[in-house]
């Protein structure tokens, strides 16, 4: 009987511990972090491969040659964008961890308000700083989303023309890179419908794969924007909770101090009466 009671108490203690641990998880921050990591991974991975496919298409079908000197041509810009993607992946991996840690601390501070955990002014300043930083990042991701939509639009035009080659068979349509600012106006780099290069480009896997990779990168940027908005809502809610909790904490401290003072006054008067009686 004693062994069964001990086992029951152990199981009860384990279940209470698990419930306590699960109640301390900031689920809203966890969902936002998963969404942020998924969006950033999709944007960085698909964007990197789409840029590599763009280089292949420019070299094989538009016959664009890399500049021998250190000039700012389209290939140099693509290399710069790849390095930017590396930085974005590393930066937002760290930022997601920081926001998750902040969510844990804020949840613990609110839950343990009446315990030993104290909400400090520094903690409130950190929460306000994260709100401002997340808002800036949200605007940055909106810009990235708008920028990513440009190659999607360009590739959609080419891909749609290739999908409807029978409709444009009699028309003489050309894709001139000068229209998109990829090459200078002095260079004539274009592919026209009806040419051998056009049919090869349409039949190749590079065009279809690169187009859909850019679409996935656009979706990843949109997911990152949604994650930033989600983070803003979570941080704003946590800030409001922490602010109210701080007020409640100050009220409890003042109340405790007044009760202590009343107790001291009562004790002093009781002693004085006792001495007077004696």
Q: Write the DSSP string, 35-98.
A: HHHHHHHHHHHHHHHHHHHHHHHHHHTS-----SSS---HHHHHHHHHHHHHHHHHHHHHHHHH
Q: Compare 238 and 149 and report the one with higher pLDDT.
A: 149
pLDDT tens-digit profile of 12-30? 666 666 666 666 677 888 8
- Say what the pLDDT of residue 116 is: 41
The CA distance from 80 to 55, in Å, is 13
Instruction: Tell me the pLDDT tens digit for each residue of 162-212.
Output: 877 656 566 677 788 877 777 777 777 888 877 888 888 888 888 999 999
Q: How far apart are CA 259 and CA 255, in angstroms?
A: 6
Write down the pLDDT at residue 117: 45
- Res 199: pLDDT: 83
Question: What is the Cα 98 distance to its own chain's centre?
Answer: 11
Query: What pLDDT score was predicted for residue 37?
Result: 96
Q: What value does the mean pLDDT take over residues 99-114?
A: 67
pLDDT in tens, 152-163: 998 998 888 887
pLDDT digits (tens, 9 = 90+) for 40-79: 999 999 999 999 999 999 888 888 888 776 777 888 899 9
Closest Cα partner for 226 from 148, 103, 137?
137
pLDDT at res. 176: 80
- In terms of pLDDT, which residue wins out, 114 or 92? 92
How many Å apart are CA 152 and CA 198, to the nearest integer? 19
Residue 115: per-residue pLDDT: 44
pTM of the complete model: 0.78
């Amino acid at each position: 009987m004693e062994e069964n009671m001990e086992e029951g108490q152990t199981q009860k203690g384990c279940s209470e511990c698990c419930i306590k641990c699960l109640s301390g998880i900031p689920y809203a921050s966890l969902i936002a972090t998963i969404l942020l990591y998924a969006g950033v991974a999709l944007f960085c991975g698909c964007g990197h491969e789409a840029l590599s496919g763009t280089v292949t298409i420019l070299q094989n079908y538009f016959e664009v040659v890399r500049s021998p000197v250190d000039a700012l041509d389209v290939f140099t810009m693509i290399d710069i964008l790849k390095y930017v993607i590396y930085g974005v992946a590393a930066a937002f991996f760290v930022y997601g961890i920081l926001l998750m840690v902040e969510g844990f601390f804020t949840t613990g501070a609110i839950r343990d308000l009446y315990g030993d955990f104290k909400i400090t002014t520094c903690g409130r300043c950190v929460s306000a700083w994260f709100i401002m930083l997340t808002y800036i990042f949200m605007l940055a991701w909106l810009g990235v989303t708008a920028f990513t939509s440009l190659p999607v639009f360009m590739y959609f035009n080419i891909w749609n023309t290739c999908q409807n080659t029978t409709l444009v068979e009699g028309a003489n349509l050309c894709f001139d890179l000068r229209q998109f600012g990829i090459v200078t106006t002095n260079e004539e780099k274009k592919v026209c419908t009806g040419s051998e290069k056009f049919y090869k480009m349409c039949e190749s896997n590079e065009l279809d794969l690169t187009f859909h990779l850019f679409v996935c990168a656009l979706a990843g940027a949109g997911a990152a924007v949604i994650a930033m908005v989600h983070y803003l809502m979570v941080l704003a809610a946590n800030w409001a909770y922490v602010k109210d909790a701080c007020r409640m904490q100050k009220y409890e401290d003042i109340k405790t101090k007044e009760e202590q003072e009343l107790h001291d006054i009562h004790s002093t008067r009781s002693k004085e009466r006792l001495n007077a009686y004696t």
